[in-house]
Amino acid sequence: MNKAAIIGSGIGGIAAAIRLAVKGYAVTVFETADTFGGKMQQFWLGGYRFDAGPSLFTLPHLVDELFSLAGKKPSEYFTYVRLDPITHYFWPDGSHLKAYADAAQFAKETELQLGVPQQAVQEVLAKSARLYQGTSDTFLHKSLHRLNTYLSADVLKALGCLSDLGLTTTMHAANEQLFSDHRFVQLLDRFATYNGSDPYQAPGTLNLIPHLEHNIGAFYPKGGIYAIAESLVRLAEELGVQFRYNEAVEQIITAGAKAIGIRTAKGTFAAEVVVSNMDVVPTYRKLLTGHKAPEKTLQQPRSSSALIYYWGIKKEFPELHLHNIFFSKNYKEEFKHIFQHKTISTDPTVYVNITSKLDAADAPPGGENWFVMVNVPHNQGQDWDKLISVTRETVVRKLSAMLHTDIAPFIEVEQVLDPLLIEQKTSSFAGALYGSSSNNRMAAFLRHPNFNSSIKGLYFCGGSVHPGGGIPLCLLSAKIVGDMVPAAK
Ligand code: FAD
């Protein structure tokens, strides 16, 4: 039976393991950490449960698909609810908006709260749908680095919406052209942060992202986001996948132009197929030292990172829901701070995720588990201790003002995650959340392919390679790898 070695058990690595096991490979996953999940972790702190990494979940069918592929019923492993409302937005001028799941209701509410004509809101969501439908088959579901992608009918579909693609304008410019209300433009621009980019630089093409959340929907897995990794590992183990924790891969072994296995501190492991779910930069720098690295690709600017304060709050805030956004006054300045000054603005947008709103067991009675996140630059040697303490004060002050309650006395327990820790825990280069950023129109083509053209049998999946970061795209990277790898002998 052919063997496959997977390096890393992030969501992309787990999904690739399932796909290769279904294809008939004997799959072994090697993981540095003592558990699976990579950035998708959970932990308990003083009676509060926290999802440590991702909090927003879209395109759940990509998870379901893995169970179906293995001939299992998805709902026996993994269930989720559709969110309604999706997000509560708060602006510094006191205005607020509930983003309802139903497009017409969302548009009506936007008109009521912000004065933006509902027809225009519906039109922008329809435009986002057209962009997604026209481009996703080419840009997300297939390798952009294989000729047959460009010979398929899907390319004609992408060309058909060329005028809508927004390649010659930025996301922000495209949104500002449609709306004069700066708050609604800010809401639309925010979707750039879903892959760690800057709406003032990223191409208008990224305006397809709202379609995922507003037309297809945002979801919450029963048991929290961590349930995605947990249920998929259960499936993988049922398919015979072996997980070897506390065993970092130190080298990808090659013979001639072919990957033939991996080496860890415990020995060598022969495999016909090697898939790296480790960030692509350290994969080349540490595991493929004797090989020529694709420098141009590896030097693409990294995405933003995050600073997270996990707070157990001994009070309930009925005005908050699962996803809450507290916007900054000056979004342009905020992104200038992140991507140009490489620091954190004194008025950052603050995201508060509270899973105890949907799962009461995640916090003690009368309390809430706040995951409080600020977008920050990836690590470039900043003084993170100082930034963490200064930003903490800013965030406490801002949330207290916008919620009309001094929140400081209610913070019962606290833990912090910063770019240094993200890199330390998952090997993500510079602590970037989503690999390289999408801040230029060629970014999609400059992301590393899902294979290595000079090392046969070596594949790549996860957020640092095509099609990019975030749970759905990591799952799609595993799908592309699964489609490329030949059936096992
Ligand atoms: P990773 O999670 O990066 O895991 C890689 C794994 O490889 C790790 O377990 C690591 O230990 C292991 N590894 C590395 N080197 C080796 C080695 N040499 N040998 C063996 N193992 C190794 N996405 C969303 O969709 N929605 C969100 O709301 C969202 N929010 C986020 C918030 C935060 C704070 C973070 C950190 C991320 C967020 N993301 C979000 C992004 C999402 O979490 C990631 O894109 C995704 O989880 C990355 O998965 P991956 O497959 O690339 O692997």
Domain ranges within the chain, ordered by starting residue: 3-40+225-299+441-484, 82-221+302-426
111 C-alpha to ligand 1 centroid (Å): 38
**Does residue 360 sit in helix, strand or coil?**
helix
342 C-alpha to ligand 1 centroid (Å): 22
12 C-alpha to ligand 1 centroid (Å): 8
* Same fold across 3-40+225-299+441-484 and 82-221+302-426: no
Which class in CATH covers the domain with range 82-221+302-426? alpha beta
Measuring from atom 29 of ligand 1, which residue has the nearest CA?
A: 54
Q: Give the mutation target among 30, 39, 280 for probing the ligand 1 site: most ligand atoms within 8 A of CB.
A: 39
Residues of the chain above pLDDT 90, percent:
90
279 C-alpha to ligand 1 centroid (Å): 9
462 C-alpha to ligand 1 centroid (Å): 7
Measuring from atom 12 of ligand 1, which residue has the nearest CA?
A: 8
Q: Which two tokens stand for residue 107?
A: 């548009």
Q: Which residues contact 167 (CB under 8 A, 6 or more apart)?
A: 203, 204, 205, 441
170 C-alpha to ligand 1 centroid (Å): 27
pLDDT in the model for residue 155: 61
pLDDT in the model for residue 37: 98
pLDDT in the model for residue 272: 97
Measuring from atom 39 of ligand 1, which residue has the nearest CA?
A: 54
Whole-prediction pTM: 0.96
CATH number 3.50.50.60 given to 3-40+225-299+441-484:
yes
Q: Give the mutation target among 9, 426, 437, 465 for probing the ligand 1 site: most ligand atoms within 8 A of CB.
A: 426
Q: Ligand 1: residues within 6 Å at CB?
A: 7-13, 30-33, 38-40, 53-56, 248-249, 277-278, 306, 308, 422, 426-428, 433-434, 462-463, 469-471, 474
Q: Give the mutation target among 50, 262, 277 for probing the ligand 1 site: most ligand atoms within 8 A of CB.
A: 277
Atom of ligand 1 nearest to the CA of 36: 9
Positions of the chain with pLDDT lower than 50, given as ranges: none
